[in-house]
Structure formats: structure tokens, C-alpha cells
Amino acid sequence: MPRLGVLLSAVLSLLVIATARADDAASAGDLLTYDFQIAQDYSYVLTVTGESTIRTPEDAAGHSEQAVTFDPATSSVRFVEAWVQEPDGTRQEPAPNSVLVRPSEAARNSPGFVSTQTATLILPQLRIGSRVHVAYQLTVKTLPLFGFNEAFVPSRTGVGTLGVSIRLPKDLPLTIGQEGGFEVSDTSSGDTRTITAQLRLTHPLVTDEEPHALPIVETGPIFMASSLKSYEEIGAIYQRNSIDKIAVTPDIKALAARIVGDRTGPDAAHAIHDWMTDNIRYLAVWLDEGATLVPHDAATVLKNGYGDCKDHVALMQALLAAVGIRSAPALINLGDIYTPPPVPFSSMFNHVIVYLPDYDLFDDPTDQFAAFGVLDRTLAGKTVVIAAEQPAMKTTPALTPASAAFEATSRIAIEADGTMAGDLTATMTPVVAAELRALLASHADAARQMEARLGSTLEGGFGRIRTTDPENLDTPFEIRASWTSPHGIAPDAPYMMLPVGPNFAPVPALRGYLTRTAKRTLPFELDIVDVTWTSTISLPDGWSLKALPPAVSVDNGVGAYTAAYTLDGAQLAVHRHLVLKQRVVQPQDYADLQSVIYALVDDMHAIVALDRAQ
């Protein structure tokens, strides 16, 4: 999810997500207030005030500049006041001409697609104990396509007060909601409705880092206000503003006929997907309030040969329509938000894919390495809004271990001088294939990956890798590798750790899920996988093993790991199997994941004693 959040980039530890807000979160602070004055057409003036105390050298470096990102076509920004109070009570104000206005990072990265600017205030020198105060005013004359959408959340590690005040005409619809402890008041007096929300944090929500935790939008606390009445309304708005962009021109009709030939139905759609991934370049522009939310027309996208996700969908829809296949845009979150917030929130959606209702099938034409109808793991099991004439909410197919399977078979021969030689063959399901096609797309990429994977093993070495054509999406993807590890083991040592060779399995860095406290308080995201490693290790003539590593078997609701070893003469067969079953793991189930991780780690560290012929 793109950073929607704090207007003050570093003033406070209270991270607030809000449309067209600033670029980064703060690291230490104690007060942040948002005061909205909303007019009858939802245009508004927002005053933001923040104060924070500098507690570390990192705070001083991070707070020295305050940044606000805005769209000059629809809004304007001015800093109202700013000062730094030193520990001795001396107060300093920013120097004249201390505000710089430049194109935002998004605008620099995507010229022609994003036109936002960033106003940056340079503060006087900061030191530990300094008190920073910044206030600015944002005037929004024209609202984004989806109207007024604001969401506010604190930093999980911050301490302080977050306050929101909204004043608007009493008859102007505005939906509000909160989860997790905001104190909310909603009153009317005369023609004015006044909404206030306040959250006081006297201690951090978490006291230790929890890797891969779901974002606070998922877990709360959160306060939201929106002019939208439902998530379906988001789909209706997008449909109204994009429907005229998918016109079937003569050029598009002729191109569609050439692409599909005599194919019909899903086969024709498959051919169009393949043509899109081969011929239309993807520009990664997030669907957010800082970028245009209306695609370019399909004819322009075809002429340019490139576009963002909305443009890809528009052209694919036009090509599908040209051969009589119905389709609709599907708005989705390309990130770690799975559950829609309690109030309709357009910024939950930052990507667009295609939905084919007659086949109940989703497709992402921006993913050049995914086969037709294959969604990568970031899009699986996600809530989507179908932007059709009759908008609806649906869920993309969930990822399962069976659909995220990878199997590697290897042979490793050990020579008496400690040299190892090995070869490997790996096959996988289409979801995993899309990930590895992208990783190994060129010969240079493949060579670097082979070097990195051998370099991460104890035996090391040098090798070669061959794959089926990464760009041929209709052929199952297969990896073949061969390698040599000079001095793979110490030839005279009485023991060795079992060699593993290069590992291309899509297994997350599992140690990165462990916490120092051995517990969690937040749900977290985990990659679902089903990985099988089978290897045959050949010992030199006259060598044998004094004992085999013990078999391993751990199986619970989060995952499973098994390992088995058999010895047939000088041939050691190793079979290892890892399954991670849940995409979102609840904190009470962390111990189950921990047991799977430690089972795998301990097994991979298995040492065997050698018996050499004299």
C-alpha cells in the first residue's frame, strides 16, 4: 500500500494515514491534531498542528525537514507557523525562504502520470531536548475522484495524543467509524455537524518489533471518515469514469482478430493476455489519490505501447470486447491489507486487474511472467471491487499449499579429496513459476542467482543454471542446475554437515519471523508454500556413515516439516518437506510457526560422523 500518510513527515511518533498526506512517519513525539472545515461540496481547509520532543540523534536528523505532498491542480499548502524551542527555553524560527517546493518523488518517477509536488520546510538545527512545533494549512479546492476519504492511525511505537476535528454542514452525508479505542463525539448545533475523535497513548502499542505484522489499518486503532456510502460505490465511480476509455476502434478490432485467430472464449482471452504481456510495457504507478484515477483510452495505450495498471486493463478490456468477451476492472490491494476497513476507504485499493464474469476468472495483464488467470501471492485471497454497471465485491482465489508447490531433486557426489559435484532439477506450480521466471528472466540474472545461492551454502562452489524460456508462459517452467564445490568438505574431518546445493525454493527467510520475546501480539503475514527437497548424496568408495540424522516430523495448524534419511550402501537419500499453511497467522498461533522453523533449522544443521576406509 502506498504511504498515504502523515502530512508532517517527521514531527510526531503518531503516524496518520490520510489522503494526500505526507511522505513518512515520525520517530518521537506527543501531539498531533487535524482540524477540518468542510464546505457543502466537500472541499475543505485542513489545519494540522504537531509537536514533538527530540530524544535521540536519529530524531534530530529525521526531524530536520518537514514535508507535505499535495496536488497543485486541486490544492495548495502553506506553513502557518513553526519553531524549535531549545532545552534552555530559547525559541528559534525557520530562516526566511526555508520552504522549498519541488516535484514529488512519485512525480519524478512517473512523469506524465503523477503531477504532485512536495513542500519541504527546513528547520533550525535540532539537538536532544529540543521541542519542535509545526503547523500548516492544506486547502483542497477539488476532491479526488472518490470524494472525501480520510483514515487516521497511530504509530504502534509512539506515545502521545492524536486528535481529529471535523466541522461540516449538518445535511452533508459523511460516514464515520472507529476500531480500537478512539473516543468519538458526533453532535449537531444549528446547521453545523461537529465530529471529534481522540486517541491517547500512554504507552506504545507494541514494545518490541514484530516482523511481518499486518499494517495497523488491519488491526487498529483506526478512525475513518468518508463521503462514500459503500465499497460498491467505489466500483460504480470507477466504472463511470473509465467506460468510455475502452472504445473498440477499427485498429483495436483488427488487432484482436489477428491475436485470437479462430480461438474463442477463454482460449481467446488467453491469447490476448499473452499478447498484452509481450507487447505492452508496464509503468508501475500506484493507484492512489496522488495520481490520476482515470485510465488513458485504449487506443492511446496501444499507440504508446506502455501504461500503468489502469491502462493495461483498459486496453485488454477493449481487445476482449472486440471478440465478444465481457470483462470489468477489479480494484484490489497489492499489498498486505486483506480485510476492508469498517468505513468505505478508496485508498485500500492500489491496483487494477481484469475480471471475466462469464468464466469467473481474474487476470493481471501487468504481470509479464504470470500465465493467463494466474495471480501472484500478493493478489491471492484479496477482497476486490468489480467496477461494473452493477458493481459487486468478490474475493480472488486463495493461495493454498497445493497451488504454491515447488519440488527439487538433486544428486550430489562427494570425492575423497572433499570436492563435490551436483546437479538439480526443479519443477513448480504456475504461481511459483511466475516468481522464478521474473527472478531468472535473463542469463545475467540467472548467473547472479546461481552464484548467490551457492554462496549461501557451507560448501559454496561454482555452477551453471538453465531454465525453460521464462517468457513462454504456456510451457511449464523448469530449472536445471549443475555445480562443483572444490573443498566442499574437509577431506580429513571425522564429520560433515550434509550438503544442500543451490536452493531456489520460494521459502521466506524464516528466521526473520522469530521475535526476541518468543511471542507476538499482532497478526502477521506468512508466505504459503509446499516445498519438497529430495537429494541423493553419493559417498566416496570406502566411506560410510556411523549414524543417520534422526527423522523429523512436526505438523500443526500453521505448518509442517518432515525429514527422512535412508542409506543404501554408499548412497544417502534425503527427503525434506516443508509446508506453510496460513497466509495470515494469529498471534496465539505464533508458537506453532516457531516449532516448524526450529525443526527445519535444527535439521539443516544436522552433522553426520564419517567412517573412512584406512
Count, residues in the chain: 614
**Topology annotation, domain 233-395:** C8orf32 fold (3.10.620)
- Domain 402-611, second-level architecture: Sandwich (2.60)
Instruction: Kindly list the distances between the CA atom of residue 201 and the CA atoms of 166, 216, 418, 524, 547, in Å, as whole numbers in the listed order.
Output: 21, 15, 60, 23, 57
404-435 residue pLDDT tens: 999 999 999 999 999 999 999 999 999 999 99
Taking alpha carbons only, the member of 353, 292, 320, 305 closest to residue 114 is: 292
The secondary structure of 242-267 as a DSSP string is HGGGG---HHHHHHHHHHHTT--HHH
What pLDDT score was predicted for residue 533?
Answer: 98
* Contacts of 568 by beta carbon, 8 Å cutoff, 6+ apart: none
What pLDDT score was predicted for residue 112?
Answer: 62
81 and 132 in contact (C-beta within 8 Å)?
no
Q: In CATH terms, is domain 31-227 a member of 2.60.40.3140? A: yes
Tell the burial category of 289 from Cβ atoms under 10 Å away from its Cβ (0-12, 13-18, 19+): buried
For the chain, domain boundaries = 31-227, 233-395, 402-611
203 and 238 in contact (C-beta within 8 Å)?
no
Q: Which helix or strand (DSSP H or E) is residue 499 part of?
A: none
| List of the chain residues with pLDDT < 70 | 1-29, 109-113, 284-292, 613-614
Give pTM, 2 decimals: 0.88
Q: How many CB atoms lie within 10 A of CB 389?
A: 11
259-291 residue pLDDT tens: 999 999 999 999 999 999 999 999 865 444 444
Q: How many CB atoms lie within 10 A of CB 306?
A: 13
What pLDDT score was predicted for residue 157?
Answer: 83
What pLDDT score was predicted for residue 448?
Answer: 86
Contacts of 86-90 with CB under 8 Å at 24 or more apart are 86/127, 86/129, 86/130, 87/127, 87/128, 87/129, 87/130
Tell the burial category of 307 from Cβ atoms under 10 Å away from its Cβ (0-12, 13-18, 19+): buried
